[in-house]
Structure 1
Amino acid sequence: MLRYTLQRFLLMIPTLIGVSILVFALFAMMPGDFFSGDTKLTQVRLDQLREAYGLNKPVLERYFLWVSQLLHGDWGFSMQYNQPVSKVIGTYIWNSFLVSFGAFIIAWALAIAVSIYSARHKYSLFDRIITFVVFAVMSLPSFFVGLVLIKTLSINLGIMPVGGLITTGSNYTGAQYWFDVLHHAILPMLVIVCVNFGPLTRYFRTSMLDTLSMDFIRTARAKGLPESQVIYKHALKNAMLPAITLLGFRLPALFSGAIITEQVFSWPGIGRIQFESVTTRDYALLMSITMLLAILTVVGNFIADVLYTMADSRVRITRAKGSAK
């Protein structure tokens, strides 16, 4: 187990090096830079600014300089916000995490509960209704769901704010401030829940149906175990094993934000500033966000592999034999 964990950890190093090369190469090939859009600057001034920020150096030299800065905790300087990139990301990333984490908990809890009941009552009226709702929700784009919620709950009923982080002109502090933030976060959360509920329910229901048809479930029922014990102690534990892999992929999503949803609700999250950075060609900020998400993806896969090995003894034995060879 320890040997496998160490091997997977060491494998992250060449993976991240390859990702860093790919990320830098993609942005280096993009035309223009932050200063190109300013028509008021003369060519002499453009050359001076590019020299000052090291944009006129060879690509290979710029790459090693960028990697060296990353290793020293310097993520670069955002010209759009006129602040260090680390400060910009630190300001907005937790806003995205608040909405994404809340939506993550709600979506997974609902999907697991509905999937269990639906799998236990396969082809019942409830199962058919859930299947219809799942496909209906999956077919709706997030911006449409957001606009419907704004029209219904904000404009017609007036019980929810239209958008933003806090109420405009408010001077709330302490608990009042956080209550106001959570009140504004409800609608973005609902949109993300709607977007994720469908795929998760389909995934968990299929996994639960496969598990309920296995021999060890029939054996447990034949032994006279209560149905609740069969479902929640034996079936659910095994049906949720593949979800560990899915959980690893959700780690970067908690911090990446939802670009469309944040735009619809004017939510100041990492997805929104990432979109704005594309239009302003703030490549330092874009590269840092992209690299951060790549790191979180690699780390998420590493955590998922380790957890899967710990949770399933069959995988642990197989990988132990593979390491021995």
Structure 2
Amino acid sequence: MSALLRILRTLRRTLLQAVPTILGIIILNFFLLQLAPGDAADVMAGEAGSATVETMQALRERFGLDNPVLVQLANYLGNLAQFSLGFSPRYGMPVTELIGQRLPGTLTLMAMALAIAILIGLTLGSLMAAFSGRLPDRLLSILALLFYSVPGFWIGLMLIVLFSVTLGWLPSGGAGTIGSSYTGFAAIVDKARYMVLPATSLALFYVAIYARLTRAAMLEVKNQDFVRTAYAKGLSPVVVTVKHVLRNALIPITTMAGMHVGGMLGGAVVVETVYSWPGLGRLAFEAVMGRDYTVLLGILLLSSILVILANTVVDLAQAWLDPRIGEQK
């Protein structure tokens, strides 16, 4: 089976599964949020200090909050059919525009965190497999368990205390130097300095998972017949480890990476709040506090699409790593 045919089959299968999945997520999220107490009008009235019954009714009529639930759902689905996520009563602007302002920050943060987690996890896991049962393996296993057990917000605060307050190497929050006129490479460096701590805080939990998974997968692959055959052919240990053992061990790693995209979106809420990072996670937290369910529905829908896209990429990567997977699917 050609590589192109495997890719087309994977994309077709994903699309057939994605459409009903997304529709189900939209309807489920909508009804779940309807169960939450209060709405945007209550919060806006509370912030104003006082409001009459007529004012509250006018606010609900303006944003369609007084309509029956099924009518609100029909209106929301109608907006989606027109590629619109609705209007935010809290921010006074279209939800699509609001999410578009925050999406690049979250995607960049997640991409950097995932890259850090996979790179460090593969390195630690490979070392643990190479020294299996010996002192380095035990020490690295304890380190991985520590990363896995410590809460993300505590790690974030400790990194701020160490690298920002004590050493003064990195900024403690924000997304860039306020009032700076950096351009080109200088702007990239400035952005990276502000991203190091939040990305590391988000990645450390997953480093432990990838390290343990890499260790287990490599130890299992090392006992396969094709690895012994490669050694019998006279290939060097480095070539066998990289080309045969590590490549096959990457299959469970890529599977977990696709599953962790949703987890990282959830973890971004805490990390972005700790580091004042302008992203979707922080926007979701603000939407919950402001009862702005239109914004929250848009974030949940976009998050679902991102998870589906991530799993599609994982399917394609696995079909490339092992052609037998694409043929089976």
**Normalising by the residue count of structure 2, what TM-score does the alignment of the two structures yield?**
0.89
- Paired letter, 1:201: A
Q: What CA distance in whole angstroms lies between the structure 2 residues aligned with 1:105 and 1:31?
A: 39
CA contact (8 A) 2:156 2:271 kept: yes
CA contact (8 A) 2:118 2:207 kept: yes
Uncovered stretches (5+) of structure 1, i.e. residues with no partner? 320-325
CA contact (8 A) 2:10 2:312 kept: no
1:220 to 225, 230, 235: 230
Aligned residues: 318
- Paired letter, 1:72: Q
Alignment pair present for 1:33 and 2:42: no
Give 1:256 deviation, angstroms: 6.2
Matches within 5 A, 1:64-79: 64-79=74-89
Q: Output one character per residue of 1:114-158: Cα deviation in whole Å (capped at 9) or x when no partner.
A: 212221221222111110110111111111111111112211222
Q: 1:261: which partner in 2?
A: 271
Give 1:310 deviation, angstroms: 4.3
CA contact (8 A) 1:101 1:254 kept: no
Deviates more, 1:15-24 or 1:241-250: 241-250
CA contact (8 A) 1:248 1:301 kept: yes
Q: 1:17: which partner in 2?
A: 23
Q: Do the aligned partners of residues 129 and 4 (structure 1) sit closer, same or farther apart at CA in structure 2, a change above 3 Å counting?
A: closer
How large is the Cα RMSD of the aligned pairs?
2.1
CA contact (8 A) 2:29 2:297 kept: yes
Matches within 5 A, 1:152-231: 152-168=162-178, 170-175=179-184, 176-231=186-241
Q: Do the aligned partners of residues 311 and 194 (structure 1) sit closer, same or farther apart at CA in structure 2, a change above 3 Å counting?
A: closer
CA contact (8 A) 1:278 1:286 kept: yes
Q: Output one character per residue of 1:1-53: Cα deviation in whole Å (capped at 9) or x when no partner.
A: 44564233212211111111101111122221101131422111211221121
Give 1:281 deviation, angstroms: 0.4
Q: 2:3: which partner in 1?
A: none
Q: 1:323: which partner in 2?
A: none
Q: 2:142: which partner in 1?
A: 132
CA contact (8 A) 2:116 2:200 kept: no
Q: Give the 3-state SS of the residue equivalent to 2:165 in structure 1.
A: helix
CA contact (8 A) 1:96 1:254 kept: no
Q: What CA distance in whole angstroms lies between the structure 1 residues aligned with 2:93 and 2:220?
A: 52
- Paired letter, 1:20: I
Q: 1:87: which partner in 2?
A: 97
- Paired letter, 1:150: I
- Paired letter, 1:244: T
- Paired letter, 2:156: G
Q: 2:53: which partner in 1?
A: 43
Give 1:212 deviation, angstroms: 0.9
Q: Output one character per residue of 1:44-91: Cα deviation in whole Å (capped at 9) or x when no partner.
A: 121122112111222122112212212322111222222211111111
Q: What CA distance in whole angstroms lies between the structure 2 residues aligned with 1:3 and 1:159?
A: 49
Matches within 5 A, 1:241-256: 241-252=251-262
Deviates more, 1:27-36 or 1:249-258: 249-258
- Paired letter, 2:21: T
Alignment pair present for 1:59 and 2:69: yes
Q: Give the 3-state SS of the residue equivalent to 2:234 in structure 1.
A: coil
- Paired letter, 2:199: M
- Paired letter, 1:68: G
**Normalising by the residue count of structure 1, what TM-score does the alignment of the two structures yield?**
0.90
CA contact (8 A) 1:274 1:286 kept: yes
Q: Output one character per residue of 1:181-204: Cα deviation in whole Å (capped at 9) or x when no partner.
A: 322222112212322211111111
2:291 to 251, 270, 281: 281
Q: What CA distance in whole angstroms lies between the structure 2 residues aligned with 1:117 and 1:143?
A: 28
